[in-house]
Amino acid sequence: MITPEKQISSQHIFAGRVVQLFLDEVSLPNGKTATREVVRHKGAVAVLAATPDNKIVLVEQFRYPCNRVLLEIPAGKLDIAGENPEQCALRELAEETPYTCERVDLIYTFYTSAGFSDEKLYLYRAKNLKRNSTLKPDEDEWLELRELSKAEAQTALQNGEIVDVKTIVAVQHWLING
């Protein structure tokens, strides 16, 4: 049975708009101590949306940490701690794409990078997609809409055009489950 590590101390290193960084000292099951660098995050949502003609809705955007344009499903962070992820998913879909939907259904909840961050991502499936959004992206977002067929999405996965984990999970789910 795995024994949890126990926090001995925690030093708050940085507080930003998106993340907080802590340097924690923990006791290990063998009695020794270790240091853990921990990024705390409010959480995020992502939306798997397929058009009525069965194309997956993606957006291209430049991602500064990766220094490249990525092809991703619509997504965004929970704006405030405790925000309802389902409502956030509806908002993000409408802000980042020309689409809205009747509802979203939760597919998976997962940690994006459990080795150093507590960011939890809620992946939803949009139901009854309609091209009628009047919302705009955030003022610091520049997005370009892409819609791919299943064959095009499979090719994008195989040729490394899709490299973002939430999008890989969503596209694989869509290819397998429709």
Q: What is the pLDDT of residues 115-162, one digit of tens each?
A: 999 999 999 999 999 999 998 888 888 999 999 999 999 999 999 999
Q: In what order do the strands lie in the sheet with 75-77?
A: 75-77, 44-48, 120-130, 100-111
- 88 with 164, same domain? yes
Q: How many CA atoms lie within 13 A of 48 on its CB side?
A: 24
- 17 with 49, same domain? no
The structural domain count of the chain equals: 2
Asked if the structure places residue 102 within a domain, the reply is yes
Q: Give catalytic residues, as residue numbers.
A: 139
- 114 with 164, same domain? yes
- 86 with 137, same domain? yes
Predicted TM-score (pTM) of this structure: 0.94
Q: What is the pLDDT of residues 2-38, one digit of tens each?
A: 999 999 999 999 999 999 999 999 999 999 999 999 9
- 36 with 48, same domain? no
Asked if the structure places residue 163 within a domain, the reply is yes
- 16 with 87, same domain? no
- 160 with 83, same domain? yes
- 19 with 37, same domain? yes
Q: What is the bridge-based pairing of β-strands 120-130 and 44-48?
A: parallel
- 148 with 169, same domain? yes
Sign of the dihedral defined by the CA atoms of residues 15, 46, 60, 156, in that order: positive
pLDDT the model gives residue 139:
86
Plot region of 20 (φ>0 → left; ψ -120 to 50 → alpha; else → beta)? beta
Collapsed DSSP state (helix, strand, coil) of residue 161: coil
Asked if the structure places residue 82 within a domain, the reply is yes
Q: In what order do the strands lie in the sheet with 33-41?
A: 6-15, 19-27, 33-41
Give the domain extent around 10: 6-41
Write the CA distances from 112 to 17, 37, 159, integer angstroms. Answer: 18, 16, 22
- 169 with 106, same domain? yes
Domain with residue 156: its CATH number is 3.90.79.10
Dist. CA 39–CA 162, nearest whole Å = 25
Asked if the structure places residue 139 within a domain, the reply is yes
